[in-house]
Structure 1
């Protein structure tokens, strides 16, 4: 923290399970129950077929690659990731789900190496191996000294915020929600007596009001509040109007940053009332290399978001985004062409802001205060 500004690192889905788990030092059982793939090692083979051999077993730092250097240089005050995998040895495959993600608990160093301050668990893979898998996930993260939010042993625990103290006078409060539109089964909702996730059926006005109520109950003067939301489809740039209304209602109610994820590629960026709304951060770590059909979205490109906010007001002070690309299940520096493509794409799909390319290769939000005064809505239907 410096000059009264708090900087947050945000990223999209961190999927250390399935194929990524198989290249780590302690891979779990590779058995899958997918329609066409029955062995998680097939995803490793697909990645190698596209970009070359992976020297498995790799060091725990391998999946993060260049991102670790980027994080060290940026030195954010809080690191927030969406951990989209169960951390378990359980074989209790959740029935009715096509895709299941798990990483072996012995490979926790592959998460801890990035030093996340908050691991968001309100997503559609944390209960892929049922309640036993969720309970082992929570135990594993607790033993590693990692904070969680968005899932718990009951509803109160699932909805409770994670708190990161960044100075004597500044805290970051992180709330998390998972919506049915991202593929979270309704039965995964935590209740008074049943473990699960902080589940929201739809982005309604009532759901926004309930979230705001929880935020106001916990927020103290000077606190910075982040609501991390797992929602929406995997592909495409269209932002549903109800998502826009929901995100803006959160900001109207006192939320400083809306951290959206679930899409496999970055989506619209909006500045509303001097607050940042990220509708979809895209995947950060996954095992999708070699999977075809969506090349036009360039899901091989990833973004590390560094959000700076004023400590005393929560207003957006700046946004830098560092482009990376995945090769052999490892994050590498993006090329000049990659950066240009990301800048042009984000600028095209984000009506109310303009994205520039800095001399160091990072993307930046141009004049966020001026952008905040724009009343234009994010594009629909692209």
Structure 2
């Protein structure tokens, strides 16, 4: 329909220009006829000169119309929606301008931590270079150049609250550290994890206020259930991309990380997956592409547990186009549920002092939707993250091929479904 409107508009411009030139040419012919009939060029010279001047003006006008037609911006299917700023705010819709008009790139990373009492932030403070002292320039270039970059924010931002009683690890970062997200190039964060509520309700609410204060969209948590389950949408290159986040962890009836309810704040829990499936299905109806970022799995193992396998199929069937997982703190396999790619665990990104493999995952969309999915190997070591090359890169790629029997991963990390 859009292409038809373009052709119709282009045809109208051609007709208008042709009409102008025809009238102008007719004026010249009329002037010549007057000379022929009257036989006195002097009598019509003034008239003819005026007609020629009008012809020049008509040609210039025609050129202006043609230039305007050629530079006219195509009508996008979401232009009317984006023009309604109030509705966009209400529905968590954000407009983004892509680096390329033909492709949209979306990059994902795993867990990060900015708590002053843990090794990553202690080392960052010692280096005194902010985020650039802890993430290599190559990694930052990929993250910052992405049209959309998403990461798991596994802690609250607050100076208030008390740590959850009897919980082994509790995290909290100063509100001003949220600026590191902007330094990383983040466009959206997930709060659907088992540490967002570590310092109680007051620190949890401070986190929402802090992220709102820096203009950082978050997903998977909220002041009530309605807000916690609401997707975030980005409109890029005339495509509407939905981001949904939820957590299975902790898997108890009364978890330390509180679940959002109709009247109380918390995270979007999906141990019972029904509500998540409903949210995904609804997002699919109003979006071109749906991404589910989910906190699941068993820590410190590359083996999938039954709940990951069970829910991945259901989430795919509900309408997810891509599933990205985290929580195990190690890399897990790539797989497919029908045509839906699943990265079961991104592992830690910048989370602790342990030396371990990590990654970025880069999704590229074009006008037809999915174009490619790329695994970019990295290494977390000495409380910093670097991109891998050469034999180290191949080592991690070989490991991912070994644990991902249903996909092919080439030398550049591009992932395709076998068969």
Query: Is the structural similarity TM-score above 0.5?
Result: yes
Where does the alignment leave 5 or more consecutive residues of structure 1 unmatched? Answer: 26-54, 290-298, 374-382
The aligned counterpart of 1:296 is: none
Corresponding position: 1:21 with 2:121: yes
Where does the alignment leave 5 or more consecutive residues of structure 2 unmatched? Answer: 1-97
Bigger Rg, structure 1 or 2: 2
The aligned counterpart of 2:63 is: none
Q: Deviations over 1:268-325 (max 9, x none)?
A: 1013332211111111111233xxxxxxxxx522201101245544xx4212222222
Which residue of 244, 255, 277 corresponds with 1:212? 277
The aligned counterpart of 1:258 is: 323
Corresponding position: 1:354 with 2:404: no
Name the CA distance, whole Å, in 2 between partners of 1:131 and 1:142. 17
In the superposition, the TM-score normalised over structure 2's length comes to 0.70
The aligned counterpart of 2:134 is: 63
RMSD, matched Cα: 2.3
Q: Which has the higher helix share?
A: 2
Kindly state the Cα deviation for residue 22 of structure 1 after the two structures are TM-superposed: 3.2
Residues 140 and 221 of structure 1: CA distance in aligned 2, closer, same or farther (over 3 Å): closer
Aligned residues: 317
Which residue of 306, 309, 328 corresponds with 1:241? 306
Residues 301 and 57 of structure 1: CA distance in aligned 2, closer, same or farther (over 3 Å): same
Corresponding position: 1:305 with 2:361: yes
SS at match of 2:353: coil
In the superposition, the TM-score normalised over structure 1's length comes to 0.77
The aligned counterpart of 1:112 is: 182
SS at match of 1:260: strand
Q: Deviations over 1:201-249 (max 9, x none)?
A: 35xxxx1x43232223233455211111101211112112332231122
The aligned counterpart of 1:9 is: 107
Which residue of 383, 386, 398 corresponds with 1:344? 398
Matches within 5 A, 1:1-382: 1=98, 2=100, 5-17=103-115, 18-24=118-124, 55-66=126-137, 67-72=139-144, 75-167=145-237, 169-181=238-250, 185=255, 188-202=258-272, 207=273, 209-220=274-285, 222-289=287-354, 300-313=356-369, 316-358=370-412, 363-365=413-415, 368=416, 370-371=417-418, 373=419
Q: Is the 8 A contact 1:11 1:281 kept in 2?
A: yes
Which 4+ residue blocks in structure 1 deviate beyond 6 angstroms? Answer: none
Once the two structures are overlaid, the 10-residue window that deviates more, 327-336 or 158-167, is: 327-336
Once the two structures are overlaid, the 10-residue window that deviates more, 213-222 or 303-312, is: 213-222
For CA contacts below 8 A with separation 6 or more, give which structure has more relative contact order.
1
